[in-house]
Amino acid sequence: MVNIAAVALVPRGPADAEVADLADLVDLVIAGCFEGEGPSVDGAADSVRAAALRLAGRPGWGGRDEQVAAAEILPGGPMLSLHGLGKRGEFSFLRLSRWLYRAADAARGAGRVVFVLPVHTETAGAPAAERVLRALALATYRYDRFQSEREREADWTAPLAVAPPPGEEAVFSAALPTAAAVAGAIGFARDLANTPPNEASPAWMEERARELAASRGMEVTVLDAEELARRGMAGLLAVGGGAAVPPRLVRLAWGTSGPVISLVGKGVTFDTGGISIKPAADMDEMKYDKCGACAVLGAARAVADLGLPVRLRVYTPLAENMPGGRAYRPGDILRFANGKTVEITNTDAEGRLILADALTWAVEEGTDALAELSTLTGHCVVALGHQAAGLFTPQDTLAAALLTAGAESGERLWRLPLYPEFLEAMKGTHADLRNSASRPGGASTAAAFLSQFVGDLKNWAHLDIAGVANVKTDDEGQGAGATGFGVATLVRWIRRVISQV
């Protein structure tokens, strides 16, 4: 979990007559320096500025990205660690979060640590303050529940502190509660996603959703296999048919006033591909096929913690896609609750089938806007790599709102097309639709399939997070594992919707 209390604010320079120097407050000061510039310590205490200038004056120092130098601020006193930030014009939130993560990780056991933030557009204003504080809080996140005590890394002995840029102190102070709530929600989503599939079954995910609902005053409804069959929810029943633990559809509801916002998240707790089985390489990462469900549950937690005036409805279809005697097959034809029939051409195109059931229910209940998150296609990874999520929506206004929310949250979205030809490619031979088409445009054809289960609703969006839901290394501003991508964007978007009502 992330430690919400692990971030504090401290004055950049002398606060009053009793605090003569930042160095009196901490054991280690971490500051940045852009390439070709002096250290970015404007407004810091004299002793800190002097130490930073001494370090920057050493032969070979250039402020290059990842360059580090360290020295005592005063003889026998606290240390200063000066970090190269690269060229100012190339500095981004991604580089900032990588710096915070690496520097915080290196500072384990150093005692009281404070970051003196550089003066830059990435550290100025309310959205930036929330991003920075959230990133620093998440720098403390580790998923080590299954490691023995001796294998666990030492934790921080004191909260990580931040000295905001000059003039930004009030902005950072105001941003801290929201950043803490969102960071906690992201940590919660990461914990769910990182939990291994032998534990994180559909039943386990239901239990976590029930715990969340009980702790935040949410209403919870669960459709079990019998109820799914009664309602004609063929997608979940088919995808989960080969697993020992039956599928289910969990709905959470929070709030009694404000706009109705629906969130849908794909929850395949493990995806073997079913009869159309996946290659063995990297199949262990298929525990992350539930990251959409984890993200929308995390967003629900943050909305409740912030007390936002919204009627939030969250739907998480949960299933394990396994081969077996009761598994669904290529060639099967399924009839869905909205009357559409779907011919199965590939059992590894399962996410869209369980989402079809959840989308149908969400739209039937009525909503002002709907956002769905899923690790849906490898095609989106081919298109965008691991740098952005694909955004699909027929509504330009909704697209603009989500793109803005993503930019303000530091989570990249890129809009991809929903041309009519993509839906033509999903027409079935012996049914209305098929669940998989040829490889070209695969992310868009999958989105076109989903469009057939939102009825007449135009204000809906699909976010394909397959490329950004998890990372393999510790070099992406966080440790290896689930990212919790989407939580911050959804919360920011919901706040924007509320502000416009």
Q: Which residues are catalytic?
A: 278, 352
Task: Determine contact, residues 365/313, Cβ cutoff 8 Å.
Answer: yes
CA 62 to chain centre: 34
Report the distance separating Cα 103 and Cα 384, nearest Å: 28
Task: Determine contact, residues 267/236, Cβ cutoff 8 Å.
Answer: no
Measured distance between the N- and C-terminal CA atoms of the chain, rounded to whole angstroms: 34
Task: Determine contact, residues 239/350, Cβ cutoff 8 Å.
Answer: yes
Task: Determine contact, residues 179/137, Cβ cutoff 8 Å.
Answer: yes
Count other C-beta atoms under 10 Å from residue 317's C-beta. 34
Task: Determine contact, residues 394/447, Cβ cutoff 8 Å.
Answer: no
Look at residue 12 and give its three-state secondary structure: coil
Backbone angles phi, psi at 371, to 5 degrees: -125, 135
SS (H, E, C) 136-183: HHHCCCCCCCCCCHHHCCCCCCCCEEEECCCCCHHHHHHHHHHHHHHH
Q: Which of 215, 185, 194, 189 is nearest to 293 (CA)?
A: 189
Report the distance separating Cα 151 and Cα 388, nearest Å: 33
What does the chain come to in residues?
501
Task: Determine contact, residues 12/164, Cβ cutoff 8 Å.
Answer: yes
Count other C-beta atoms under 10 Å from residue 440's C-beta. 10
Contact partners, residue 3, CB within 8 Å, separation at least 6: 137, 140
Q: What angle do CA 28, 98, 196 make, to 5 degrees?
A: 110
Contact partners, residue 107, CB within 8 Å, separation at least 6: 28, 30, 81, 113, 156, 160
Task: Determine contact, residues 11/22, Cβ cutoff 8 Å.
Answer: yes
Report the distance separating Cα 34 and Cα 87, nearest Å: 6
Task: Determine contact, residues 27/33, Cβ cutoff 8 Å.
Answer: no
